[in-house]
Structure 1
Amino acid sequence: MKKFTVTEITRAVKGLLENTFADNIAVKGEISSFSRSPAGHLYFVLKDQKAQIKCVMFRGMADKNKGYDPKNGDSVEAIGELTVYEAGGNYQLLVKKLDYDSVGLFWQLFEEVKKKLEAEGLFEDELKKPTPYLPKRVAIITSPTGAAIKDFLITMKNDGAVFEVDVWGVPVQGKDAIAPIVSALSKAGAMTDRYDALVLMRGGGSLDDLAVFNEEYVARALAACKVPTISAIGHERDISICDFVADKRVATPTAAASFLGEGYSSAGRELDLLGKRLTNIMNQKVMNANQRLDMLMQSVGSASPKKRVESDRRQLSYLIKSLSGHTLQMTDRKKAKLNELIGIMSRISPKAQIERQKNSINDIDRRLKDALFNKKRSESDRINILLQKVSGFAPDRKAENYKNKLDNLVYRMKSAVKSEVTDNKSRLAPLTAKLEALDPHNILSKGYSFVMLDGKPIKSVFDISLQDELEIRLNDGYINSFVTGKKVSEENDG
């Protein structure tokens, strides 16, 4: 067995350690047992969850590191040499540079809490509660004087949303904000009979500013809410533990207002669209009915009994005139032929021949008369048939048929328009009822009142100042009053 002195062992360890870690090394950990000697040297311990190492930073190096003033609890990165302090028999880090490592510690703690809650199932989609399409009242947990609530209310007004808002004023930064936020979440989150949604909200900031929303207590309180929850913390790039446990995550407070007001915007757009469609349908129905009526009137006009009779009478007159003219022309031609024959006979002389010619003439005259008689009788029969058609045509009965057709068409047109109007009224009724139920003015008849300043509704005690002249609207008139004092409700103080 070899024997060694304490010095020999210590120097052997020193040589082995310093040779192994011959170059500068960087070590991350949390500062504890910090002290500053009268000479300006810094002494502290770096630790993590399982081990620790002593550190010393001599004055010369400390003076070069004045950009950061270390303290207990800080997460840092120390750069230096690993040495053995022989007199104390321990190894230590001779620190040459010390940097604050808040980002590293932040994400370390972030991941620890995230993994823990995720393992418990608090991030599961099955636990997410749906937000109502048309919320009536919403709880806002945020700073009552911050830019976030102002942006929310402005966006809500611009979007035309009419839900009520209760602001639960809490601090939203630092360790002191944990208890007030948890208390507000526990109280407001249980009021399912009052609130349709709950928004945990703050504007943007640094990682340290938003750190409270990564606290396990805050995340668990948000997850335990019975009211549907919305996380609206920071900006689009900011992520918090509360974003994972909330029922809905939106990027900003402004986005939260737009999300909650989307139902009202959609309902308004749908009403406008239905109104336009109803107007177009009515106009088209009326236009079609007018066109059909015009066509019917033209058809009735062209088939008018009076016009038919007049047309037949004109045709009859034409036929009579034509027959008369034809008869006269034929008679004139026969007479001329007879006169010509008589002249010839008078020149021939012989009596027998004259007698033959006379008989012939008589025969011709008889035949002529028969032909004229037959022609006249044929034309007369044709005229009688035409007269029978005219007399058989019943103007009153035809007119009555056309009137019945017209009345039936008008009745069908009115029924179609009435049915279309009834259908569209049925579709509009539910949406109209929803909007009327949400109209703040309807509650005046129930004993409530509106308080306004300069014609604008007052929603918070922070909107008014002492000596402001207020107008209180009741169901049957107005009351003017002056502000002599104001007090924030106990719920908002929480």
Structure 2
Amino acid sequence: METDFIDLLELQLRLREEIEDSFPERLWVRAEIASVQAKANGHCYLDLAQSEGGRIVAKAKAVIWRSRFAPLRAYFREATGGELAAGMEVLLRVQVSYSELYGLSLTVDEIEPRFTLGAAELQRRKTLEKLEADGLLDRQQELEPALLPYRLAVISARDAAGYGDFRRHLEENAYGFAFEVSLFEATMQGEEAPASIVDALERVECAPEPYDAVLLMRGGGSALDLACFDDYGLCFAIANCPVPVYTAIGHDRDVHVADRVAHDAVKTPTALADRFIDALAAEDERISAFGNRLRMAFAARLAGMEQRILALGERIRAADPRGVLARGYTLVTDAGGVVVKSARQLPAGTKFRLLFADGTVEAVAVE
């Protein structure tokens, strides 16, 4: 039985001809970067994807040749402040090509950074809207901060300059306050950051002894570097944390969703250190003022009691018979020492005593 067939190479050549004839011009393609590899030879290789409902519905490989990658990289970095990275939404101008050996490929010759920035802003707005719909935007504000917040759980990278600045500033505080700081390491940038930070939050919540505050910090970065702090999953975890969460992400202009849902947000790690130093200083001042008021109230109470005791002493001294006798009076008692208050108590022949200030005289009553 004879069967018509073609060689694999012929099939691939036909596919190449059809595909390249169908896309003779370069075109703009919107996609998400699934992975990016900048090689030592200067070429950059991208895995592109498109997702719908959390499911990947399309994939393609792309390349930026060395001659275009260097200028495109510089242009993108200048416009966005960051590098091409996994998880970014990008708009690329590509030439579609097909290889008999490697299949479909997209050659990139232009990138529109404004699209990437706009996609990040759109994601930020969607996260805010979803958190608001879920009633989570202000949940952290309902938590009562600790009066003496000295047990601090820090989520950061160990070698981050911001974390070092924070520790140094905290340890060198002018009041000599001692803080207990525990570091929960996490990835603070890129596609892996949200899940890593959520894991650190869970470790804080499971600690044997509760912390007074959770501090989320990094040493600044570009808008795209910090886009992970607009992730819904991360912001959901912050909002639901049972401990007040404070952020010091280090940006100067943009407010990220993590800042919005946190209990409080400051610009830098050193400013966050000041936040807790000032909290302890305010409580120390309050306690000192209370101590001063207590001492003053005690002194006033003691002085009042002293005056009452002195007055009572005066009254006692005034009622003392010896004081009366000293003024020239005498006290009459019978022979048994009972005070005689009336002459009728001393019939004739009755012995009695006369008490003077300087002695006693025995006497007998006569008619």
TM-score (norm 1): 0.40
Alignment correspondent of 2:173: 158
Partner of 2:152: 138
Distance verdict in 2 for CA 1:183–1:158, change over 3 Å: same
**Alpha-carbon distance change, 152 to 62 in structure 1, aligned in 2, over 3 angstroms:** closer
Question: Distance in 2 between the 1:278 and 1:248 partners?
Answer: 34
Tell me which of 263, 267, 271 is aligned to 1:251. Answer: 267
Are positions 1:124 and 2:5 aligned together? no
Which residue is 2:282 aligned to? 266
Deviation, 1:169, is 2.1
Matches within 5 A, 1:231-242: 231-242=247-258
Are residues 422 and 228 of structure 1, via their aligned partners in 2, closer, same or farther at CA, if it must alter by over 3 Å? farther
For residue 179 of structure 1, the aligned residue among 177, 195, 198 is 195
**In the aligned structure 2, how far is the partner of 1:417 from the partner of 1:117?**
53
Letter in 2 for 1:158: N
Q: Deviation at 1:64?
A: 7.5
Could you tell me whether the CA contact under 8 Å between 1:128 and 1:246 is conserved in 2? Answer: no
Shift of 1:170: 2.2
AA partner of residue 175 (structure 1): E
Change (3 A) 1:155 1:26: same
Shift of 1:204: 0.5
Answer whether contact 2:140 2:244 (CA < 8 A) is retained. Answer: no
The CA distance in 2 between the partners of 1:72 and 1:278, in whole Å, is 62
Q: Output the TM-score relative to the length of structure 2.
A: 0.51
Q: Distance in 2 between matches of 1:170 and 1:62?
A: 34
Cα-to-partner distance string for 1:237-281 (whole Å, 9 max, x where unaligned): 2422221222222222122222222232124445666789999xx
- Whether contact under 8 Å (1:182, 1:218) holds in the other structure is yes
Structure number with greater Rg is: 1
Q: Structure 2, unaligned stretches of length 5 or more? A: 1-25, 37-42, 74-83, 95-106, 305-367
- Native 8 Å contact 1:130 1:247 kept in 2: no
Higher relative contact order (CA 8 A, sep 6+): 2
Aligned residues of 1:191 and 1:227 also touching (Cα < 8 A): no
What is the SS of the residue equivalent to 1:139?
A: strand
2:94 equivalent to 1:213: no
Q: Which residue of 1 aligns with 2:300?
A: 419
- Map of 1:223 onto structure 2: 239
Determine which structure has the larger strand proportion and give its number. Answer: 2
- What is the 5 A alignment of 1:12-411? 30=32, 65-67=68-70, 68=72, 75-77=89-91, 97-100=110-113, 101-124=115-138, 128-156=142-170, 157-160=172-175, 161-191=177-207, 193-270=209-286
Of 139-148 and 185-194, the range deviating more from structure 2: 185-194
One-letter amino acid matched to 1:224: N
What does the per-residue CA deviation read over 1:428-456, in whole Å, with 9 as the maximum and x for residues that have no partner? Answer: xxxxxxxxxxxxxxxxxxxxxxxxxxxxx
Query: How far has the Cα of 1:76 moved from its partner?
Result: 3.5
The answer to whether the Cα contact below 8 Å between 2:139 and 2:239 also exists between their aligned partners in 1 is no
Distance in structure 2 (CA, Å) of the matches to 1:139 and 1:269: 25
Contact 1:141 1:201 in 2 (8 A): yes
SS of the residue corresponding to residue 192 of structure 2 reads: helix
**1-side partners of 2:224 and 2:126: how far apart?**
17
* CA distances 1:79-99 after superposition (whole Å, capped 9, x unpaired): 79xxxxxxxxxxxxx998443
- CA RMSD in angstroms, aligned pairs only: 5.0
The code of the aligned residue for 1:99 comes to E
Task: Kindly report which structure 2 residues correspond to 1:442-481, keeping only aligned pairs within 5 A, or say none.
Answer: none
- 2:85–2:190: 8 Å Cα contact kept in structure 1? no
Given that 1:171 and 1:181 are in contact with CA atoms closer than 8 Å, whether structure 2 keeps it comes out as yes
Q: CA deviation at 1:191?
A: 4.5
> Does the C-alpha gap of structure 1 residues 152 and 25 become closer, same or farther in structure 2, counting only changes over 3 Å?
same
Taking a change above 3 Å as real, the CA distance of residues 175 and 263 of structure 1, as seen in their structure-2 partners, is: same
Question: Do the aligned partners of 1:190 and 1:225 also contact (CA within 8 Å) in 2?
Answer: no
Counterpart-to-counterpart distance in 2, 1:169 and 1:48: 30
CA-CA distance at 1:149 after TM superposition: 2.0
Equivalent position SS for 1:207: coil
Residue 225 of structure 1 and its aligned partner are, at CA, apart by 1.5
Q: 1-side partners of 2:299 and 2:124: how far apart? A: 65
Distance in 2, Cα, partners of 1:258 & 1:176: 30
Q: What is the distance in 2 between the residues matched to 1:98 and 1:418?
A: 78
Alpha-carbon contact 2:157-2:187 (below 8 Å) kept: yes
* Equivalence for 1:377: none
1:158 partner SS: coil
Taking only the aligned residue pairs, the percentage that are identical comes to: 30
In terms of fraction of residues, the more helix-rich structure is 1
